Amino acid sequence: MNFKLETDHKIVFFTGAGMSAESGVPTYRGSGGIWNEYKWEEYACESAFKKNPNHVLNFHELRRIEALKCNPHKGHRIISQFQLEYPNTSIITQNIDGMHQRAKTQNVIELHGSLWKMRCQTDGRKFEDLENGPYANRHCGCGEILRPDIVWFQDMLDEKIVKKTMSVISTCTLFISIGTSASVWPAAGFPKLARDAGAYCIEINPEKTELSSIYDEVIREKAGKGLELFLGGIRS
């Protein structure tokens, strides 16, 4: 690896569906994806929630239950341990399953929200619901039914989260993309933002992506094996 890592460097791990898929978490898109079985128009948009909120909540409750059947894999643990050695490490994830947090990782930015958070659309309050698969409470104290704090189809990304993400990437020294094609904006712009900031950029993905040519180094492996190779390269 043509890069020397120092303890004061700022590192960003950017993870996508491939990171969680290795733990057995069902993916939403692609072959065998959830949206091949379910229509997102009925389960993952604001209009569906307004029409039948409990129908939508039942669907997301099932996603929570399925996620809890899975465990963080060695790649999650490598990132968590790496963060202990290099404290200026941030994780930006497109995943909503909370797997990074279950691996005891800190400084996780969830671009698309979380299965384990709810929000009230009346007063804007957010609630963590971490105990188990079924929701602890489907209603806010004000009486309003809570919706999952997730970016659904036709939703806009949270502007504050996007700004924080861009700020973290634009000041990083090392950018590692794992298990994502990053083909949809704003994620499609993240590697170039890191490159323009002078960061060394690495892609870990078993398949070539549209952005592979942007990276300084490419590791054609799944997340766990790719992170092992990355770690070996850093320490050699």
* DSSP structural state of residue 156: P
Pairwise CA distance, residues 95 & 176, whole Å: 16
Taking the CA atoms of residue 83, residue 8, residue 171 and residue 75 in that order, the dihedral angle to the nearest 10 degrees is -20
Tell me which residue of 7, 193, 226 sits closest to 92, measured CA to CA: 193
Pairwise CA distance, residues 79 & 179, whole Å: 14
Is there a contact between 182 and 190 (Cβ–Cβ < 8 Å)? yes
Q: Which amino acid is at 154?
A: Q
Tell me which residue of 30, 3, 35, 5 sits closest to 16, measured CA to CA: 30
Is 76 one of the catalytic residues?
no
Q: Which amino acid is at 110?
A: E
From 55, 60, 100, 112, active-site residue: 112
Beta bridge partners of 110: 93
Q: Which amino acid is at 117?
A: K
Which parts of the chain are beta strand (E)?
11-15, 89-93, 108-110, 113-119, 126-128, 147-150, 174-178, 200-204, 217-219
Structure tokens at 49: 């929630």
Is 74 in a helix, a strand, or coil?
helix
Q: Which residue has the tokens 């384990």?
A: 116
User: Catalytic residue positions?
Assistant: 112
